[in-house]
Chain A
């Protein structure tokens, strides 16, 4: 059992969640309530990582973040650190890859809030922040929770992108999914079995939690 890899995966998942939470809430609300021209294109862009093969995304990220790319060089100049084969690089990849998993459930949750409810808040003299904190978030939380759980579980299991930009460095980029792959190649089926069972358990718990939250959201909608 590779505890370092499990911890690293948990860190990566939590960081991805922390970064995507504000991004998800902001873009989820914008997508839910604005009907601008090109919204379909925006939604398609957000959904793209769902259908894109992870190796394709990994390839583009490898090129975009590579030591010779403008972005990679700028990062190196700023932080004195290589982006590919580093935890920071994995995190960037993970945030991009999880955009649909965070934004889509949040968008659905905000769409479910009736415009009248928000208008009522505005009529009562509430500021936009107060409306967000006192009205929208309490109503949308099952969707937000579901989004975070999906993002968490998905990051934990991500393999293709990590394989492309990671390099399997212990404690830095060897996530638990990569470690399972390495263990099988090292003829260590026992460790691979234990780690797979751990991932299976976490994934099952996460997806159950997400379904619970969705059921709760739907119940609320049918009451409304």
Chain B
């Protein structure tokens, strides 16, 4: 019998390496989280791993996209939405274990990067002046279509009577974290982002921010819910998020904690 040609051996080796991957990939529970939690939730996750020795994987994005993906069957076990409506709609479709719980109240911030002509203040006077002077060429918010922070930013800007005059300057992030990135990188002169992102050292080092009045938009009651497919690992994380340790971190990032529910 002739020896196996080198090419065949190589193919066999490659196949041997590849085959185990085909079977299915991960066992660690995957958590879909609104991107305003980008920094806060990673701290909670680190403590969760330290305290319980269990692992979870975090994926950040816009709540609306996650909603669509979960309806399409995405394998997320826990969904931390930036508002209530998406969770309620999932619950109505019978995809969730129950109606979940409100874990935080989100707030909006006006953010201006270093060197921007925009002066930040809670009543958006500086934004109005900068707009009148034509100093705002680009202004970042999250997409109002599918990101709750984008929808609330639109409400706040309409309340302030600035929505129309900002139209030509608006750039829409796919989620609020991308909007923050647009503004913090100096590519936009300012933006309305999540207060929790503005509180993160990574972002606050890059500019100034001001908290917007909560009466200017409908509340961002951030609800989370376990899917029917949830494993014990994601149940543990869900419970951990309601513990004082996790809530202290959330509060440090500027989230108000739910009083009822």
Contact surface of A with B, Cβ cutoff 8 Å: 11, 14-15, 18, 62, 66-67, 72, 81-82, 84-88, 167-172, 174, 182, 184-187
> Are A171 and B57 touching (Cβ within 8 A)?
yes
When distances are taken between beta carbons in the complex, the residues of chain B under 8 Å from A87 are: 21-22, 24-25
> Are A187 and B202 touching (Cβ within 8 A)?
yes
> Are B15 and A18 touching (Cβ within 8 A)?
yes
> Are B38 and A186 touching (Cβ within 8 A)?
yes
Report the nearest B residue to A170, measured CB to CB.
B57
When distances are taken between beta carbons in the complex, the residues of chain A under 8 Å from B22 are: 15, 87-88
Known contacts A11-B18, A15-B22, A167-B69; 9 additional CB pairs below 8 A are A18-B15, A66-B73, A82-B75, A88-B22, A167-B74, A170-B57, A185-B181, A187-B184, A187-B200
> Are B181 and A184 touching (Cβ within 8 A)?
yes
When distances are taken between beta carbons in the complex, the residues of chain B under 8 Å from A67 are: 72-73
User: Which of A62, A86, A168, A187 has most chain B Cβ within 10 Å?
Assistant: A187
> Are A62 and B72 touching (Cβ within 8 A)?
yes
> Are A170 and B178 touching (Cβ within 8 A)?
no
Knowing A84-B74, A85-B72, A85-B74, say if A171 contacts B26 (CB, 8 Å): yes
- B190 within 8 A of partner (CB): no
When distances are taken between beta carbons in the complex, the residues of chain A under 8 Å from B21 are: 11, 15, 87
Q: How far is the CA of A114 from the CA of B153 in the complex (A)?
A: 67
- B247 within 8 A of partner (CB): no
Report the nearest B residue to A81, measured CB to CB.
B24
Q: Mark B43-76, 1 if CB is under 8 A from A, else 0.
A: 0000000000000010111000000010011110
When distances are taken between beta carbons in the complex, the residues of chain A under 8 Å from B57 are: 169-171
Contact surface of B with A, Cβ cutoff 8 Å: 14-15, 18, 21-22, 24-26, 28, 30, 35, 38, 57, 59-61, 69, 72-75, 174-175, 177-178, 180-181, 184, 200, 202-203
Report the nearest B residue to A84, measured CB to CB.
B72
Knowing A66-B72, A81-B24, A84-B74, say if A170 contacts B177 (CB, 8 Å): no
A selection of 29 A-B contacts at a CB cut-off of 8 Å is A14-B14, A14-B18, A15-B18, A15-B22, A67-B72, A67-B73, A72-B73, A81-B24, A84-B73, A85-B74, A87-B22, A87-B25, A167-B59, A169-B30, A169-B74, A170-B28, A170-B57, A170-B59, A171-B28, A171-B57, A172-B26, A184-B181, A185-B38, A185-B60, A185-B175, A185-B178, A185-B181, A186-B38, A187-B200
Q: How far is the CB of B62 from chain A (nearest CB, A)?
A: 11
When distances are taken between beta carbons in the complex, the residues of chain A under 8 Å from B178 are: 185
Q: How far is the CB of B114 from chain A (nearest CB, A)?
A: 14
Q: How far is the CA of A89 from the CA of B208 in the complex (A)?
A: 43
Report the nearest B residue to A12, measured CB to CB.
B21
Q: How far is the CA of A168 from the CA of B76 in the complex (A)?
A: 11
Q: How far is the CB of B75 from chain A (nearest CB, A)?
A: 6
Knowing A14-B18, A87-B25, say if A186 contacts B177 (CB, 8 Å): yes
Q: How far is the CA of A18 from the CA of B13 in the complex (A)?
A: 12
When distances are taken between beta carbons in the complex, the residues of chain B under 8 Å from A171 are: 25-26, 28, 57
Q: How far is the CA of A88 from the CA of B23 in the complex (A)?
A: 9
When distances are taken between beta carbons in the complex, the residues of chain B under 8 Å from A66 are: 72-73
> Are B75 and A85 touching (Cβ within 8 A)?
yes
Q: How far is the CA of A88 from the CA of B18 in the complex (A)?
A: 13
Report the nearest B residue to A189, measured CB to CB.
B185
When distances are taken between beta carbons in the complex, the residues of chain A under 8 Å from B28 are: 170-171
Q: How far is the CA of A168 from the CA of B57 in the complex (A)?
A: 11
Q: How far is the CB of A161 from chain B (nearest CB, A)?
A: 15
> Are B18 and A187 touching (Cβ within 8 A)?
no
> Are B177 and A185 touching (Cβ within 8 A)?
yes
Q: How far is the CA of A15 from the CA of B15 in the complex (A)?
A: 9
